[in-house]
């Protein structure tokens, strides 16, 4: 599997965020997208995920499932963790599993892998910021997808949580997955770098 982009351009409103970006990531590899605040790191991830239109260029996935879109083969983990506070931790993950096509299989195992087994029946509104991030980590595990698009993946995690996330990323890459991550610091796994210039 290989994911690459050529001449990718992003325009938000009337502002050119970036233009002419190129990248190439193969299975088992990671790409760290770096740059100043406002340079377009999150916008690039959202374009790849199909959440924002690209103004120009192309993004191509080779070796994926032909009948599925790129977005259907990717997990996008953004700045905000998509959690409904009125539901329990388990119910939140069950919702995402069903929404993403995974049914209810693997929920307990994914919560345990993310260090949340003890909190499965807690209302999600009571979770700390780090625990909310762990719940998003569990979503990456519950429904397997080969492409992980991660926006500041270690955000809000303590040292233990960061180490856990690093281990999960290494396992994902070892299984032939690929990762593109926007980050201001070390990603924790070997990665090529794409630096986006400062916003105009």
Q: pLDDT per residue over 140-174, tens digit each?
A: 998 889 999 999 988 889 999 999 999 999 999 99
pTM for the model:
0.92
Residue 200 has pLDDT above 80, yes or no: no
Of 13-17, 85-89, 94-98, 99-103, highest mean pLDDT? 85-89
Would residue 93 count as lying in a domain?
no
Would residue 53 count as lying in a domain?
yes
Number of domains in the chain: 1
pLDDT of residue 132: 93
Residue 118 has pLDDT above 60, yes or no: yes
Arithmetic mean of pLDDT over the chain: 91
Buried b (16+ CB within 10 A) or exposed e, 159-192: eebbebbbebbeebbeeebbbbbbbeeebbbebe
Distance from C-alpha of 185 to C-alpha of 191, rounded to nearest angstrom: 12
pLDDT of residue 101: 78
Distance from C-alpha of 59 to C-alpha of 82, rounded to nearest angstrom: 26
- CATH code: domain of residue 60: 3.40.50.300
Would residue 24 count as lying in a domain?
yes
Confidence of residue 103 (pLDDT cuts 50, 70, 90): low
Give the domain extent around 57. Answer: 2-86+145-195
Would residue 100 count as lying in a domain?
no
Residue 199 has pLDDT above 70, yes or no: no
For 175-193, what is the mean pLDDT? 92
Residue 104 has pLDDT above 90, yes or no: no
pLDDT of residue 155: 84
């Amino acid at each position: 599997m290989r994911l690459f982009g050529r001449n990718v351009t992003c325009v938000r409103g009337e502002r050119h965020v970036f233009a002419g970006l190129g990248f190439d990531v193969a299975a088992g590899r990671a790409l760290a997208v770096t740059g100043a605040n406002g340079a377009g790191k999150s916008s690039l991830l959202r374009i790849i995920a199909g959440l924002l239109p690209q103004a120009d260029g192309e993004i191509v996935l080779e070796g994926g499932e032909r009948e599925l879109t790129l977005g259907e083969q990717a997990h996008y983990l953004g700045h905000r963790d998509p959690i409904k506070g009125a539901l329990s931790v388990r119910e939140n993950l069950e919702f995402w599993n069903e929404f993403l096509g995974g049914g209810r299989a693997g929920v307990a195992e994914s919560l345990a892998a993310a260090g949340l087994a003890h909190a499965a029946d807690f209302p999600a509104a009571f979770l700390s910021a780090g625990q909310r991030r762990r719940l998003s980590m569990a979503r990456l595990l519950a429904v397997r997808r080969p492409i992980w698009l991660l926006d500041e993946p270690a955000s809000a995690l303590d040292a233990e949580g960061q180490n856990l996330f690093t281990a999960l990323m290494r396992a994902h890459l070892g299984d032939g997955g690929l990762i593109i991550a926007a980050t201001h610091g070390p990603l924790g796994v070997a990665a090529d770098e794409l630096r986006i210039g400062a916003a105009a």
